[in-house]
Amino acid sequence: MTLKITPLSGTIGAEISGIDLRNLSNSEFDAVHRAFLDHAVLCFRDQDLTPDDQIAFARRWGEIHDHPYLNGLPDHPEIIEIVKEAGERNRFGAYWHTDQIFTPTPAMATMLYAKEVPPVGGDTMFASLTSAYDALSDGMKAMASRLRTFNLYDKQSPRSKRMAEKIPNRETAAEPATHPLVRIHPETKKPALYVNGMPTTTHFVGMTQDESQPLIRHFLKHATRPEFTCRIRWSPGTLGIWDNRCLLHMALDDYPDYRRVMHRITIKGDATIGIHDLEAAE
């Protein structure tokens, strides 16, 4: 088999064919890792993975991240099973976000393995925070590079309360975390507009919520412009992995009559570095 990389859009995303994730040589993994840095989100179709296979593939990317408040599968605690039953509204990830921005060391990558999917709908969308930063005016780039975001897993928010039944460890949710709005990717060194919507990114450090929110909304609207996005259409056996350091993602809630089951693993990340930290170090 020969590894083939097919872009998913003009900006981000690629489908990789010609490999079996259960038997990946070191050189194949290096090629996949290079593609991950180049395209930010990858998908692999028709993979036949047991939970142990998925965990073994995840470990090649780094240490598996224990979610602060979601429980994993009883026999495989590294894997969080995301289940939406037919007739239920999808509440997990159905808004633009980057994983665990509310912790000091947000997840580097997230991996989803599709177990059961609707015949149509239930795609995951991605938006490039690198393209979003690049498209800002010079004046806005200069202002954004001085801002830090304040991020909180708000246990009292209506969305969080609705999620309560899916969050058994909810009381141990993480403390607030601040991050540079312009985050430098630790591997590609590219700047990204690192922001989440409400309720997670509540305000900019040193500013009020009233002052911050119009700007946060502007950045989110800008970052999710269609030309900065791609989507994965899932089928059973598709594995997707994405780079939370430079992407937003969103689960689409457009399949009311069907069940969807995904196995999710997150990979540990580093403390965030801002564009100013990098300039100061040079």
Catalytic residue numbers read 97, 99, 249, 264
Q: Would you count residue 98 as binding ligand SIN (CB under 6 A)?
A: no
Among 13, 93, 191, 199, which residue sits at the site for ligand SIN (rule: CB under 6 A)?
Answer: 93
229 lines the binding site for ligand SIN (CB under 6 A): no
* 247-251 sheet: strands from edge to edge: 229-232, 124-128, 247-251
Q: Are 197 and 191 in contact (CB under 8 A)?
A: no
User: Does residue 110 belong to the site contacting ligand SIN (CB under 6 A)?
Assistant: yes
One of 41, 55, 58, 82 touching ligand SIN (CB under 6 A): 82
Mask 23-62, x = binds ligand SIN (CB under 6 A)?
Answer: ----------------------------------------
259: number of CA atoms within 13 Å, CB side? 7
Q: Pick one of 98, 124, 200, 202: the residue that binds ligand SIN (CB under 6 A).
A: 124
DSSP, residue by residue, 208-242: -HHHHHHHHHHHHHHHT-GGGEEEEPP-TT-EEEE
Shortest reach from residue 279's CB to ligand SIN, in Å: 33
Give the residue closest to ligand SIN by C-beta: 93
Phi–psi pair at 147, nearest 5 degrees: -95, 145
Footprint on residues 233-262 left by ligand SIN (CB under 6 A): 249, 251, 262
The CB-of-187 to ligand SIN minimum distance in angstroms stands at: 21
Q: Give the nearest distance from C-beta 250 to ligand SIN in angstroms.
A: 7
Distance CA 75, CA 151 (A): 32
Spell out the residues 6+ positions from residue 169 whose beta carbon is closer than 8 angstroms to its own: 67, 68, 69, 70, 71
Residue 246 is which amino acid?
C
H-helix or E-strand containing 85? none
Please say which residue, 135 or 252, places its beta carbon nearer to ligand SIN: 252
Binding site for ligand SIN (CB under 6 A): 82, 92-93, 110, 112, 124, 249, 251, 262, 264
